[in-house]
Amino acid sequence: MSAFPWKLLEVVKLLDDRAAADLRRQEAEVLLSRISRAVGLDDTRRDFTCFIHKLFYPSKSKPQDSSSDSQVPSARIHVTSILEKLFHLSEGAVRRGMDQLKELKCSVADLEQRTALLREAFPFQGYIQKVEERGISHEQLVRVETFAATHCPSWHDIRAAEDTLSMDTLNLYQLTPWCIKPATIERNCSMVELFSDSPCLPTNFCSHWWGEPLRDFVACIGRHCAVRQLCFRSTFYWICAYANRQHALSEELNDDPKQTSFYKAMCLADCLLLILDNVGPAMPFTRVWCAYELFMALIDEDRKKKPLLLDTVAHTKAGTFVLTDGFTDAEAKVRDAGFPAEAEACKSLRELCFPIHVLEKGMNLRLQEAQASEEADRRHILNSVVGKQLHELDEAPPLEHENYTEVNAQLGSRFAVACFEPAFKKGSPSLRLSVARALQADPWRRQLVLNIGNIPKERQAAAFGVCMAGLPANLQDLSLIWKSFAADSNLAALAEKLPISLHQLRLSFKECWEISDAAVAALAEKLPISLHQLELSFAYCSQISDAGVAALAEKLPISLHQLQLDFTGCKQISDAGVAALAEKLPISLHQLQLYFEGCEKVSDAGVAALAEKLPISLQDLQLDFNFCSQISDAGVAALAEKLPISLQDLQLSFAHCSQISDAVAQAAGSLESLRAWAAASELGAAPDLEMRLSSGEETAEGLQEKDEEGEEGEEGEIGKPSHESRRARPAAPAAPWRGQPPTLALPAPSPAAPQTRHSTAKNAETSSDTVLAEGLADETDVGSLDFAYRFDSKVLSKVPSLFGTFCSALLCATTLEKLQLDFGGCSQISDAAVAALAEKLPISLQDLQLDFVVCEQISDAAVAALAEKLPISLQDLQLDFSGCPQISDAGVAALAEKLPISLHQFQLEFWGCEKVSDAAREAAESLESLRAWAAARAARPRSEEGEKARVRELGARPRS
């Protein structure tokens, strides 16, 4: 292909202006003769006569003697076709050049220079036949952004020629005529074909508004890649401006939306990425093409692949934020390790700061009111959405339709879930009401996860009302979390609202001290019979007793496959409650997790009663009896004796059970070792089991064989173990609780239910009907976004990646104002971990509370790393390093030196830090005294050795 003849565009322009661009043969010969001299063609080597003859007489191989045009009556050829043939240009190339001149209102020389720069920056790679296979990567988009940033000052808005363009506002409407079209003018290709000559299959389809600034758009793609942990180079996004050939759009589009490049690309993609601008804001909700793409993602049934994921990203001055459809890979790893609550906490933190004003637009979407640049597009798309046939697409679309309703409702509820926490932390009452209405309006929603526990206590009553008002009727999977809020009336209200369609139900009422047996009984009474999975946490609900456990057990659905009950810290529960639960365990159970940590009334008899009734089909069993001091080896033996043969995975916890021997505690560490210990107990070999197993002298299988032989024999030491060797004789099971069932709690205070306790707060008194009809009475906004979380040492030991996942989520919370993290007792937290956390602290923080009690790996280096990264706007700082023996005065001094000047309130704890002097500890009691102590310490002359020691302590910063 020859170089584009830019100089000749002036000739074409002149002929166009004179309406003389259609040439006869003689005119063409004269023009070519002049052109050859103008552009330096050697007409002695080119037979123009033959060239012209082939143009005007394509069916003849030789020129005719006649010089007239009579052989082809009125034969005329447009000058652009002649030039394209002469210079071997692609069809329409000259006309494209002319169109570009008109659009940019620039000179030919200027356009030639700009095109040369683009050709150098983005050389043509090759054609990709299928438009849907023209994906572009974030790395390639950055190249476009970089080029635009360099040349943007020389561009102007073609709609207002005097306005110079800026990268702050440069969008696709402006980039296309100055970059995309000139770059693709010669080859009539797409922008993607300047990056690759082979198919780039898109995994993500971008739905967006062309008016969003290019810089923001590229940031959105980059943030999505980072959050989803995708490769910036090899992950491809389908973006219409770069995938379609902008000089031949008619070939890429079609009256039938399902024949367009857009639809074909969506059929290839796995995820629709909705990119919401901060200009409109959220203009895609008003554009009909974007609305159609959302329809595709949510309810289109013609797409042969599984439904598209719907991720949403928005860019504001505060940062770039992503809402993911489900968990990221890192979060899913935590969930799959058996800790869904921890995974949900990471996701909640990551999405907490998503801009509320953008979310609110999504909750109020009305697809049928969306607009398009071309009215025909609007008609075709809306008619396609309602299912009309091809010949009906030009008709006026209906004003209302069930498909409009479904798209509006599904998208509205999706944003309502994302907006739930922010609405109560920093939203208006009208926004909270919108959340309730949007949730309730979506009967197609199958899963709902809400965390009331993260909401400020003074707002939890209102949040509960919204939650109850918004529960969709056809849910199959429901997860709700409370903390220190719920009372009996709340549980009773929730029980009344539970959808009968539920298959999975997860409820957490940790530290809800006002919950009693009456609430548990009310909830049990309404458990849907279709449940397959049930998880209930009543940890530290101190009023719950055997009566509540028995009431729950009585109503457990027989269809259950997975059951998890957490009664940690419920000290009124005894053997009778455990036995009552055991007696009613559904025989269909495959997975059973029970937590009775700190239930001091539970003894061997309770464990034996549970063992006696374990379902025969059980495959996974987890039992936690930590701090149950009445349990001994006999209880473990009773359990080991009755383990179902179907069991594949066993996790037992008997920490701080003083009557359990070390050998038994070690044997309980795995299913194989426990069975081996049980067999050895029968053979009188339990005391030296540990030594024999570790040395390889015995195996579990061998011990089981000896056990069988011992049962058959009538004489000898093996056949008749001595009384002394049977120290682990199984305990007898306890009898189930058979007392008076508790009176069911009611949704509101009632004299007929004297056992029901009610919170002093207005818990369930705000009915769901009132919320929807009248809204919320409170007319004040909440002040700030905050987040609180307590790390569990046991979870960190099992899923070390949790900490990194949490830090990544924290990096996304760029507008967070208050953060409370409790690492108490987490031995895994090291200097490097603290440094990594410090690096991710949002600069917007005003209140920071960190608890590192008994984190024994932490040293002065960690304190110094944290001090170095404290946000400059911080006003309230609380740090507790009690029980961290490696911290010394050097760490205290490093902290004092870096305290932000904005700090108003301050609290430091170094109890049990033996290297911290009394003077430093006293100084840490107030901000003023600490700063004075640090100044005095810095002023004291240091010995050479002391200075070297200080450098060693603080110089080596931990790496994150």
In a shared domain, residues 85 and 134:
no
CA 558 to centroid of chain Cα atoms: 34
Range among 196-210, 307-321, 420-434 rated most confident: 196-210
SS (H, E, C) 674-735: HHHHHHHHHHCCHHHHHHHHHHCCCCHHHHHHHHHHHHHCCCHHHHCCCCCCCCCCCCCCCC
In a shared domain, residues 569 and 630:
yes
In a shared domain, residues 164 and 299:
yes
CB count within 10 Å of CB 568 equals: 18
Burial of 376 (0-12, 13-18, 19+ CB in 10 A): exposed
Q: What confidence score (pLDDT) does residue 700 get?
A: 47
In eight-state DSSP terms, residue 590 is S
In a shared domain, residues 74 and 184:
no
Q: Which sign does the torsion angle of CA 80, 84, 85, 86 carry? A: positive
- Mean pLDDT, the chain, rounded, equals 86
Q: What confidence score (pLDDT) does residue 857 get?
A: 96
CATH number, domain with residue 923: 3.80.10
Of 29 and 118, the structure prediction assigns the larger pLDDT to 118
Q: What confidence score (pLDDT) does residue 763 get?
A: 43
Give CA–CA dist 532/521, Å, rounded: 20
Q: Is residue 765's pLDDT more than 80?
A: no
Give CA–CA dist 422/432, Å, rounded: 9
Q: Which strands, in side-by-side order, build the sheet including 533-537?
A: 447-451, 477-483, 504-510, 533-537, 562-566, 591-595, 620-624, 649-653
Give CA–CA dist 420/417, Å, rounded: 5
Averaged pLDDT, 629-645: 95
Q: What confidence score (pLDDT) does residue 692 get?
A: 54
In a shared domain, residues 948 and 824:
yes
Per-residue model confidence as pLDDT tens digits over 465-507: 899 988 999 999 999 998 888 899 999 999 999 999 999 999 9
In a shared domain, residues 137 and 60:
no
Of 24 and 393, the structure prediction assigns the larger pLDDT to 393
Write the CB contacts of 732 (distance below 8 Å, at least 6 apart in sequence): 605, 608
Say if pTM beats, i.e. exceeds, 0.85: no
In a domain, 367, yes or no: yes
In a shared domain, residues 673 and 633:
yes
Averaged pLDDT, 522-546: 97
CA 196 to centroid of chain Cα atoms: 31
CB 445 within 8 A of CB 777: no
SS (H, E, C) 881-928: CCCCCECEHHHHHHHHHCCCCCCCEEEEECCCCCECCHHHHHHCCCHH
Give CA–CA dist 580/547, Å, rounded: 9
In a domain, 783, yes or no: no
Question: If you search the block for the tokens 């993602």, which residue do you land on?
Answer: 297
Chosen domain end from 719, 748, 771: 719
% of the chain with per-residue pLDDT over 90: 61
Residue 755: name the closest of 578, 544, 536, 573 by CA.
Answer: 544
In a domain, 764, yes or no: no
Q: Is residue 530's pLDDT more than 60?
A: yes
CB count within 10 Å of CB 117 equals: 15
Give CA–CA dist 675/297, Å, rounded: 51
Pairing of strands 847-851, 477-483: unpaired
| b/e map 10-35, b = 16+ CB within 10 Å | ebbbebbeeeebebebebbbebbeeb
Give CA–CA dist 421/784, Å, rounded: 11
Query: Please, which pLDDT band fits residue 420 given cuts at 50, 70 and 90?
Result: very high
Chosen domain end from 719, 737, 762: 719
Pairing of strands 160-164, 309-316: unpaired
Range among 179-193, 416-430, 478-492 rated most confident: 179-193
CA 563 to centroid of chain Cα atoms: 27
Angle at 587 between CA 584 and CA 589, to 5 degrees: 100
Residue 781: name the closest of 378, 430, 402 by CA.
Answer: 430
Q: Is residue 817's pLDDT more than 90?
A: yes
Query: Please, which pLDDT band fits residue 949 given cuts at 50, 70 and 90?
Result: low
Burial of 390 (0-12, 13-18, 19+ CB in 10 A): middle
Question: If you search the block for the tokens 């009445």, which residue do you land on?
Answer: 630
In a shared domain, residues 221 and 292:
yes
Q: What confidence score (pLDDT) does residue 947 get?
A: 52
In a domain, 858, yes or no: yes
Q: What confidence score (pLDDT) does residue 31 get?
A: 76
In a domain, 131, yes or no: yes
In a domain, 808, yes or no: no
Q: What is the tally of structural domains in the chain?
A: 4
Per-residue model confidence as pLDDT tens digits over 869-912: 999 999 999 999 999 999 999 999 999 999 999 999 999 999 99
Averaged pLDDT, 540-555: 97
Give CA–CA dist 10/273, Å, rounded: 44
Question: If you search the block for the tokens 């860019």, which residue do you land on?
Answer: 315
Of 734 and 20, the structure prediction assigns the larger pLDDT to 734
Structure tokens at 838: 């410090």
Chosen domain end from 688, 719, 750: 719
Q: Which strands, in side-by-side order, build the sheet including 786-790?
A: 786-790, 818-822, 847-851, 876-880, 905-909
Write the CB contacts of 335 (distance below 8 Å, at least 6 apart in sequence): 327, 342, 343, 344
Of 22 and 219, the structure prediction assigns the larger pLDDT to 219
CB 671 within 8 A of CB 645: no
Q: What confidence score (pLDDT) does residue 283 get?
A: 93
Q: Is residue 43's pLDDT more than 80?
A: no
Give CA–CA dist 224/207, Å, rounded: 13
Give CA–CA dist 515/513, Å, rounded: 6
Give CA–CA dist 802/335, Å, rounded: 10
Per-residue model confidence as pLDDT tens digits over 648-699: 999 999 999 999 999 899 999 899 999 888 887 665 555 455 455 445 555 5
CA 266 to centroid of chain Cα atoms: 21
Q: Is residue 574's pLDDT more than 70?
A: yes
Q: What confidence score (pLDDT) does residue 533 get?
A: 98
In a shared domain, residues 453 and 519:
yes
- The phi and psi torsions of 129 (rounded to 5 degrees) equal -60, -50
In a shared domain, residues 51 and 126:
no
Of 31 and 183, the structure prediction assigns the larger pLDDT to 183
In a domain, 99, yes or no: no
Report which secondary-structure segment, H or E, holds 479.
strand 477-483
SS (H, E, C) 118-151: HHHHCCCCCCCCCHHHECEEHHHHHHHHHHHHHH
In a shared domain, residues 838 and 905:
yes
In a shared domain, residues 544 and 691:
yes
Range of the domain at 230: 122-318+353-398
Per-residue model confidence as pLDDT tens digits over 711-733: 444 444 433 433 333 445 788 89
Give CA–CA dist 816/837, Å, rounded: 15
Q: Is residue 766's pLDDT more than 90?
A: no
In a domain, 101, yes or no: no
CATH number, domain with residue 642: 3.80.10.10
Report which secondary-structure segment, H or E, holds 326.
none
